[in-house]
Amino acid sequence: MAFYTFFLSCFLVSVSFVTIPTQTQTQTLAMSNSLLDLAHSIEFRDWLVCTRRNLHEWPELAFEEVKTSELIRSELDSLGIEYTWPVAKTGLVATIGSASGSESGPVFGLRADMDALPLQEKVEWEYKSKVDGKMHACGHDLHVTMLLGAARLLQQHKDKLKGTVKLFFQPGEEGHAGAYHMIQEGALQGVEAMFALHVDPLTPVGTIKSKPGPLLAASGRFHVTVKGKGGHGALHHKTIDPIIPVSYAVLALQQLVSRESDPLESRVVSVGFIKAGEGAYNVIPETVTFGGTFRSLTNEGFLYLKQRIKEIIETQAMVHRCTASVDFMESTLIPYPPLTNHLSVYDHVRKVGERLLGGANVHLTTPSMGAEDFSFFSQKIPAAMFFIGVGSENADQVHSLHSPYFFSNEKVLPVGAALHAAVAIEYLDKNLRSNEENVI
């Protein structure tokens, strides 16, 4: 009898902690769940596809996204959405919500990058790039379109939002740290948390994946010039051959990962090019240049690699009677920090995704040594990035990002637009209630 009484009391206590959705919560969830149906409507879907194809035909490189920015502003103007422009040369930040322009309610950020890559598109289809040597081979045209779709969905519900959503249309992601420059210009001020999507051609449409904690690596570059004394190959003893220390240095750099790094820590050092001489077989050149990339999932690992790269190259040059200059190009190509997903934002997106897309379509992934400048946002505020599937139904059209053959399944557009909007709507509702409970 005592055990039964104890069990009953525990049961009653546990019941008292069960969260029963309020009417407001129920309305928010209903509004969020309706987004996917609205995004899949014929009119909405056709608008998304048309917008994406327009962007794809006119790709622009980092900080040159003039037409892209014009298209975005035109769409925002037609929707009656306010925005700040220019931010970081060609970027803009739009604002939607019942708290727009005030300090009340939480503020949540959604981000899409805008720039293309210097690649010649080799996919033969009606809407291929019309600009020679430029292509949206990383899906940024899709990112912009999905965020514009979210803007349209959010604007339709702006009077019901429990705070403010800021939409970041960001330039210069591909190696030029556009996110860093937006932050430097104050664009992040007041934003409490942030979310971004990135397309994944190896994942089916309707599926998203991510993980809490480290997701993408910190990334830097190095450019090296080793100088010796050139001369005729037959009189090598009268030269100081710079090729020798460069050869030793390239081999020694590989040991930074194989012999100096904990095998349980992810680090990369890769030499991408070596240039020496003018093609003469019998001439020892005066200088050799080479360069590459180094990456780590932690800031500590990144700084260690940077220090050791410089030490190894300079020491090898000195041993072989040469001089070396190591340039990490930090003033022109700012290194990217690691992209770390904040647990609370990751969990929030995961739960929204499971309800919107189905639990079977939300997956845990592994970290990648690729880099993304959304990491600058994640270093400042709680943030999370998820990958969303754009895999083609035709296996012959499945190619990796940054490939001239990259091709996307446009069925992702309504899915991404609805997910963006749902994540923002539910974040505002949840955090407004949380703040009110804390005040009480």
Closest CA to 175 of 221, 242, 129: 221
Annotated binding residue 236: no
Closest CA to 365 of 200, 148, 248: 200
CA-to-CA dists, residue 397 to 251, 288, 392, 405, angstroms = 37, 40, 6, 8
Annotated binding residue 198: yes
E strand or H helix that includes residue 419: helix 412-439
Annotated binding residue 140: yes
CA-to-CA dists, residue 156 to 28, 34, 161, 304, 413, angstroms = 14, 12, 10, 50, 18
Structural tokens at position 36: 């996917």
CA-to-CA dists, residue 185 to 29, 182, 188, 319, 405, angstroms = 35, 5, 8, 46, 36
CB atoms within 10 A of CB 416: 27
CA angle 75, 78, 80 (to 5 degrees): 110
Please spell the DSSP secondary structure of 19-87, one letter per residue.
Answer: PPPPHHHHHHHHHHHHHHHHHTSHHHHHHHHHHHHHHHHS---TT--HHHHHHHHHHHHHHT-EEEEEE
Residues placed in the known binding site? 138, 140, 174, 198, 402
Residues placed in the known binding site for Mn(2+)? 138, 140, 174, 198, 402
